[in-house]
Amino acid sequence: MEKKKILITGASGGMGSALTEWFLQDEYHLLLHYFDHLPLIPESSSVTHCRADLRDSDQIVRMMNEITDRFGGVDILINNAGISRSGMSWKISENDWVETMAVNLNAPFHLSKAVIPHMRSRKFGRIINISSVVAQTGNVGTAAYAASKAGLIGLTKTLSKELASSGISVNALALGYFETGMIADVPLDQQAQIIQGIPAGRLGSADTVCKTVEWLLSDEAGYVTGQVINLNGGLHSS
């Protein structure tokens, strides 16, 4: 049976590495996107590295053309890559705003646009966008990040309506604070303050994200589309 091809963006980061290890199974061929740092998992018959600067739409197009030429297309897209440029709204630079939007919102749009024709032709596809609880609640100093991740939720809902009749589901995960990923850049004293504000009293495990994604990829979850699934330890519900 032909292996389903999964493209994971930001595969060398904390959450990207966790997703990679989780889905390193015989039934999948992993297409691991990176920019500066190679993914931890080396290339093999089931793993291919794909380099592109997601701030540059031309590089995205090049990468996707190479993937299409070599593999025919992508069956599953996980838009995991993200950056955060902290700063009060009246202080953040235009460059920081533009780069955050480029990676967190524009890139998922361009990537989705590239994979949709193949998915439609096969009447199957899964697009999973990694958003954030900050998109739902806002947070001081996160104007660019919150806006980009909120835009990703809007993109998710629109694509889901456009693609449902083609057997393609599009969902978003709104993540709270986890043991891996961007939390590594937060000082320990601030991490302690964050944990105090989480009703569950702890950071989340990457396994929670991976298991949720695994379910969304299943045939049983094919009727679930256009949803924002909150994984945040009780920080926010909607």
pLDDT 10s digit of each residue in the chain, 238 long?
689 999 999 999 999 999 999 999 878 999 999 999 999 999 999 999 999 999 999 999 999 999 999 999 999 999 999 999 888 999 999 999 999 999 999 999 999 999 999 999 999 999 999 999 999 999 899 999 999 999 999 999 999 999 999 999 999 999 999 888 776 667 677 778 888 889 999 899 999 999 999 999 999 999 999 999 999 999 888 7
Scanning the structure block, which residue is given the tokens 């393609």? 168
Whether 28 sits among the annotated catalytic residues: the reply is no
User: What is the spatial order of strands in the sheet that 76-79 belongs to?
Assistant: 47-51, 28-34, 4-8, 76-79, 125-132, 168-175, 228-231
Alpha-carbon distance of 126 to 167, in angstroms, equals 9
CA neighbor of 53 nearest in space, from 15, 2, 110: 110
pLDDT at 1: 63
87 Rama sector, left if φ>0, alpha if ψ -120 to 50, beta otherwise: left
pLDDT at 234: 92
Q: Identify the structural domains of the chain with CATH numbers, from first to last.
A: 4-231 (3.40.50.720)
Q: Which of 34, 145, 177, 223 is catalytic?
A: 145
Q: Which residues, including other chains, have CB under 8 Å from residue 145's CB and lie 6 or more apart?
A: 82, 83, 84, 85, 86, 100, 104, 132, 134
Q: What is the DSSP letter of 6?
A: E
Scanning the structure block, which residue is given the tokens 């709204």? 89
